[in-house]
């Protein structure tokens, strides 16, 4: 199994280089216990998959199509996609998708698909949308209008309606946040569809950015409308966030009929590969497949319940200490006033304006909450809390 003639061996590195790697590992071990602000879990162990690292695997092309390059994990990828089809309630024989290198690629695919279907369309997205979407809109030359957000981070439906009313002659492409980056807010698809219906707009496209919440909402009792059953045309979900992976990854799921329509329009390039990239990661499908097979539906449900419990613990403790902490429904993002820079740095907190958040991912425990709370209390005594 192990390559007997590798081009690179540890003895080829200088002592200095080896020491550098050791130091880097030590740093990661230290920092990994102190990141509370970013939505990635560190609770995984994929070491049983290590032997796969000895092969030049590549998932180039459409995972559902045959390929002459056989060192791929397309079958595994398709199984992962089938799980996400179930999670997102996409039609069983009417979906298509592929594994991306993260949520942004999935969002780019969704907007690309929408723009191909509606070349004159205007993309509407809220103020609380992840900054990467602005880059995507620029890359795709997609016309776009930002809509106000409500204080809890949802799109302002009234502002959306008034803006759509002006541009009702061109198809809207709604970029819906299913869990905003800073506040975990879910744009209400029923309200958005009601706005479209009130304005008699029939031709539209909805893409859902469900980077984190796409692996939360399938497992809660009372999910907000967010998936294909609620009218989305495509959805992007990260793999490295809630499931966890040492390599960033994600999935994008879209309606097959839409994908086939744009496949016809790209025939001139001589391929039906409608994935955005060429070479694609073949290891990350193994990670997600392994995790999903090991945990199963019930396993993820329990993990997510634990995350909610930690979030509520944080809110209770913060409030007891006089810190105004809150979370949106079905969100594990705990929002609180922006602390001083030292706390932000120590706990790797994401901040925006006067707000900061901690995200109670599976690796976050009550001991972490207690520790950051103590730092916040000390910081407040110095007058550093916004």
Partner 1 sequence: MKQITIISPNRPGVMADISETLAQAGININHIDAETFNESAIIIMNVDNYDRALYELQKFPDLKAVSEDAIVIRIENKPGALAQISTRFKNANINIRSIRFLERDEDYGLVAISTERTEEAMQLVNDVLVA
Per CB under 8 A, residues contacting partner 1 are 122, 127, 134, 137, 143-148, 156, 158-159, 162-163, 165-167
Q: Which C-beta is closer to partner 1: that of 20 or that of 165?
A: 165
The distance between the two most distant Cα atoms of the chain, rounded to a whole number of Å, is 70
Nearest to 312, CA basis, from 374, 358, 375? 358
Q: How far is the CB of 98 from partner 1 (least distance, A)?
A: 28
Nearer to partner 1, 3 or 354 (CB): 354
Minimum Å distance from CB 248 to partner 1? 22
**Is 129 or 258 the residue whose CB approaches partner 1 more closely?**
129
Q: How far is CA 260 from the centre of its chain?
A: 25
Between strands 355-359 and 333-337, the pairing is antiparallel
Q: List, in sequence order, every residue forming a beta bridge with 175; answer none if it has no partner.
A: 207
**29-59 per-residue burial string, b: 16 or more CB within 10 A, e: under 16:** eeeeeebbbebbbeebebeeeeeeeeeebbb
Question: What angle separates helix 74-88 from helix 283-320, to the nearest 10 degrees?
Answer: 40
Q: Which is nearer to partner 1, 159 or 273 (CB)?
A: 159
Task: Name the minimum Å distance from CB 309 to partner 1.
Answer: 34
Nearest-approach distance from CB 143 to partner 1, in angstroms: 6
d(C-alpha 178, C-alpha 16), whole Å: 46
State how far the Cα of 128 lies from the Cα of 196, in Å rounded to an integer.
21
Residue 331 among the catalytic residues: yes
Q: What residues are annotated to the active site?
A: 331
């Amino acid at each position: 199994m192990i390559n007997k003639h590798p081009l690179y061996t540890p003895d080829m590195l200088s002592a200095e280089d080896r020491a550098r790697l050791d130091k880097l590992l030590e740093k990661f071990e230290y920092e990994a216990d102190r990141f509370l602000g970013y939505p990635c879990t560190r609770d995984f162990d994929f070491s049983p998959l290590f032997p796969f690292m000895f092969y030049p695997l590549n998932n180039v092309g459409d995972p559902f199509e045959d390929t002459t390059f056989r060192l791929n994990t397309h079958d595994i990828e398709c199984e992962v996609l089938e799980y996400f089809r179930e999670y997102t309630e996409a039609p069983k024989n009417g979906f298509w998708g592929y594994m991306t290198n993260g949520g942004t690629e999935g969002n780019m695919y969704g907007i690309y698909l929408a723009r191909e279907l509606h070349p004159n369309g205007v993309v509407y997205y809220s103020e609380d949308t992840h900054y990467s979407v602005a880059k995507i809109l620029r890359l795709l030359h997609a016309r776009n209008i930002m809509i106000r957000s409500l204080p809890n981070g949802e799109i302002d439906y009234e502002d959306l309606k008034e803006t759509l009313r002006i541009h009702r002659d061109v198809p809207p492409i709604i970029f819906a946040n299913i869990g905003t980056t800073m506040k975990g807010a879910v744009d209400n698809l029923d309200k958005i569809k009601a706005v479209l219906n009130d304005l008699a707009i029939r031709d539209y496209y909805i893409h859902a950015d469900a980077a984190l919440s796409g692996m939360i909402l399938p497992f809660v009792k009372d999910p907000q409308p967010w998936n294909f059953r609620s009218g989305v045309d495509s959805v992007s979900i990260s793999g490295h966030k809630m499931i966890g992976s040492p390599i960033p990854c994600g999935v994008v799921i879209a309606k097959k009929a839409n994908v086939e329509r744009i496949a016809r329009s790209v025939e001139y390039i001589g391929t039906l590969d409608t994935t955005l990239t060429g070479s694609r990661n073949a290891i990350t499908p193994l990670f997600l497949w392994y995790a999903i097979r090991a945990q199963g539906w019930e396993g993820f449900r329990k993990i997510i319940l634990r995350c909610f419990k930690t979030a509520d613990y944080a809110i209770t403790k913060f409030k007891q200490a006089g810190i105004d902490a809150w979370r949106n429904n079905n969100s594990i993002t705990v929002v609180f006033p922006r602390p001083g820079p030292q706390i932000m740095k120590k706990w790797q907190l994401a901040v925006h304006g006067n707000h900061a958040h901690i995200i109670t991912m599976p690796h976050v425990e009550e001991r972490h909450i207690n520790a950051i709370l103590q730092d916040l209390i000390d910081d407040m005594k110095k007058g550093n809390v916004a």
